[in-house]
A and B are shown apart, each in its own frame.
Chain A
Amino acid sequence: MSPKLRKFLEFCKDFSSNKVALVAFFIFLLILFVAIFAPLVSPTDPYDLNTVSIMNSRLPPFSEDFSGNYFLLGTDGAGRDMVSAIFYGLRVSLGVGVLSGIFALIIGSFFGISAAFFGGRYESIIMRIVDIQLSFPSILVALIILAAFGKGIEKTIIALILVQWAYYARTARSSALVEINKEYVDAARCLAFGNTRIMFKHILPNCMAPLIVVGTLQTAHAISLEATLSFLGLGLPITEPSLGLLIGNGFEYMYSGDFWISIFPGVALLITVASINLVGDHLRDMFNPRLH
């Protein structure tokens, strides 16, 4: 057995020691599957105007229409099947959350590691910017960006990247500072490797554990923040119906007692965010040397 595989199996065993986190992880995999294959697993295409009928609008859960279509979670104001709308919504929400998380991870770890590597004035400027940004609540940063530049999918992603990058930068810098003093970095320097190679081929892989922990927790946060912004009408446009937008659409029917249009997308959002948070929480405990 190769050492890498053994290490991986050890990690799996370690991870499974917490049953709650394990269950959360499988729930998340299921959600991910549904999101990726939404067009295949959805009962109907909620945005195909040929199949959606306004006659079916606001049917309660467990109802059937005249042609025998079954709506497990009811329909929304336009007659769309809620199950399908939620599956498609998950796709958008997860897509935006994960995409912004990846970009923020790349940008944040670039600045974090380079700050630790070069030090001096460059480091203090970068870290001062990080400090200043972290002193503003995330929703405020996103609100400023979207209020100033308007809504839209790419602006929402930019806002979410801006909200998150500072966390990655801080984490990357603090773990890079520890790594830089280790012998393998000295060895790489003696071999006259370029700075870029040392930073990203040698130091970065050794900083990944804390970055992954921050990554899971931040992605959960980004998904939730995107939903909030879309609900407020600042995030994604109506053409990209994320879970937040679905909840917002259902809000107007709340007062007439049609609870399912808002509640079920919210439950989907809650399960998604909570499962990622539970996995992240457990990963943090696993990587935290103080708890061992």
Chain B
Amino acid sequence: MTSFICTRLAQSILVLFIMSLLVFGGVNLVGDPVEMLINPEADQAEVERVIRELGLDRPVTEQYWYFLVNAFKGDLGSSFIFGEPALKLIIQRMPATLELALFSLFISLIIAIPLGIYAGYNPDSKASKVIMAGSIFGFSMPTFWVGIIFIMIFAVQLGWLPSTGRGEIGTFMGINSSLFTLNGLSHVFLPALNLALFKISSVIRLTRAGTREIILQDYITFARSKGISEKRVVLIHVLKNILIPIVTVVGLEFGSLIAFSTVTETVFAWPGMGKLIIDSIYNLDRPVIVAYLMIIVTFFVFLNLIVDIIYTFLDPRVRIKGDHQ
């Protein structure tokens, strides 16, 4: 067990190191930030001063070494555009992304679980077929395009909901979030629904498959033979048993919501990490690109590490296999 965790930890660190090399090396090959950042009217002396200040005159290897050393200190460089530490910029925008991802997770569960149970409970009904066909379309629909359609219908044509920004931000128990104000909620609704779409499709399929398995179990037959109403069978027995695998899978896939929020944030001008990275790529703001990629990769590497460790606790087979390696 310990050896398993150690191997995985070493592997995670190796992945991080390779990523740092790839990201830093790659970003340094793109464009010329000197041209992008310095006022074209600046004189030669001014240009040289800025180059020195940003460390762009050093050899790339040296720049990388400084980057590594500083990364360990938590200093990932300063944004060329904002003049602030890149790490700080990203952390400032993290709550907006997390709040969007959490709310869309909530929406997807609320919508998908009832539909999935229905489709699993009545697999041959017309409505179930519509639900399942809809879930294939949900997979096929490009998120950004659906977002555009949402904006067109609900913001431009009907004018019901705002389509850009985060809205008013409320404070509750020391946490700042737009989920705590009505105005903020109206802003988060469309982007969250948009982000939830692909999750809805997959949770419907998962729930349906689970429900079809569960209703064949003996305890469901037993519950029915006790004379419990069908409504109670579904709401108590089926729902309870289906929730465990769904919550596990969806919880573990939370990272993908954060990754996909990049797209949604760009469409809805949501001021989160995803929009920041797209803007930074557009502006060739190298320190922010590097910092974002390093942070997101670290996040995923450790998320996966934790998932692996939890799995070894839940499933002994993984543990045994790990010990053999």
Hey, which bits of chain A sit against chain B, CB under 8 A? Answer: 20, 124, 128, 132, 135-137, 139-140, 143-150, 220, 224, 227-228, 231-234, 244, 247, 250-251, 254-255, 257, 259, 262-263, 266, 269-270, 273-274, 277-278, 281
Contact of A269 among B30, B136, B142, B149 (CB under 8 A): B142
Across-interface contacts of B148 in A (CB, < 8 A): 247, 250-251, 254, 262-263, 266
CB<8 Å pairs between A and B, sample of 8 = A124-B325, A137-B255, A148-B23, A148-B27, A224-B140, A270-B141, A270-B145, A274-B141
Which of B218-226, B235-243, B276-284 lies on the face that meets chain A?
Answer: B276-284
B30-A227 in contact (CB<8A) = no
Chain B contact residues, majority secondary structure: helix
| B61 vs chain A, min Cβ distance (A) | 17
Instruction: Give the A-B contact count at a CB cut-off of 8 A.
Output: 125
A227-B142 in contact (CB<8A) = yes
Given known contacts A147-B293, A148-B27, is B256 in contact with A128 (CB within 8 Å)? Answer: no
Contact of A257 among B22, B156, B259 (CB under 8 A): B156
Across-interface contacts of A254 in B (CB, < 8 A): 148, 151-152, 156
Across-interface contacts of A274 in B (CB, < 8 A): 136-137, 140-141
| A213 vs chain B, min Cβ distance (A) | 15
Across-interface contacts of B263 in A (CB, < 8 A): 139, 228, 231-232
Query: Top 10 A-B pairs ranked by shortest CB distance?
Result: A148-B26, A266-B145, A274-B140, A137-B259, A137-B256, A140-B259, A150-B30, A273-B140, A135-B304, A149-B26
A233-B156 in contact (CB<8A) = no
Across-interface contacts of A247 in B (CB, < 8 A): 142, 144-145, 148
Q: Is B108 an interface residue (CB 8 A)?
A: no
User: What residue in chain A is nearest B157 (Cβ atoms)?
Assistant: A257
Q: How many chain B residues have a CB neighbour from A under 8 Å?
A: 47
Given known contacts A135-B304, A139-B262, A254-B151, is B142 in contact with A270 (CB within 8 Å)? Answer: yes
B11-A128 in contact (CB<8A) = yes
Q: Is B97 an interface residue (CB 8 A)?
A: no
Across-interface contacts of A149 in B (CB, < 8 A): 26, 29-30
B255-A132 in contact (CB<8A) = no
Across-interface contacts of B144 in A (CB, < 8 A): 227-228, 231-232, 244, 247
Bitwise interface map of B from 252 to 287 toward A, beta carbon under 8 Å scored 1, else 0: 000110011011001100000000011001100000
How far apart are the CA atoms of A135 and B27 in the complex, in Å?
23
Contact of A277 among B31, B136, B293 (CB under 8 A): B136
| A136 vs chain B, min Cβ distance (A) | 6
Across-interface contacts of A227 in B (CB, < 8 A): 142, 144-145
Given known contacts A247-B148, A266-B148, is B278 in contact with A233 (CB within 8 Å)? Answer: yes
Given known contacts A224-B142, A270-B142, is B31 in contact with A150 (CB within 8 Å)? Answer: yes
